[in-house]
Amino acid sequence: MKILHILKTEPDNNTKTLMSAFNKSEGGQSTEFMLYDEQADYEKLIDLIFEHNKIISWW
């Protein structure tokens, strides 16, 4: 299963731990998209959403 993690802010240690746990439990590929990056490509985000099976938004 392909998981997309959408991050609104830079992840703290707790968020990183949870993301890792989700990745291990699903046993698949994961991608991180950083919304907080000034150069965030929103068209790429739309493509990523359709390419992944599960999307998790981290606020």
Residue 32, domain extent: 2-58
Predicted pLDDT at 14 = 96
Query: Contact, 48 vs 21, CB < 8 A?
Result: no
HSE, CB side, 13 Å, CA atoms: give it for residue 12: 2
Structure confidence by residue, pLDDT tens digits, 1-58:
899 999 999 999 999 999 999 888 887 799 999 999 999 999 999 999 999 999 999 9
Predicted pLDDT at 10 = 96
d(CA 23, CA 31): 10
Q: How many domains does one find in the chain?
A: 1
Residue 31 forms beta bridges with which residues?
4
Predicted pLDDT at 28 = 78
Structure confidence by residue, pLDDT tens digits, 29-42:
999 999 999 999 99
| Helix/strand/coil percentages in the chain, nearest 5 | 40, 30, 30
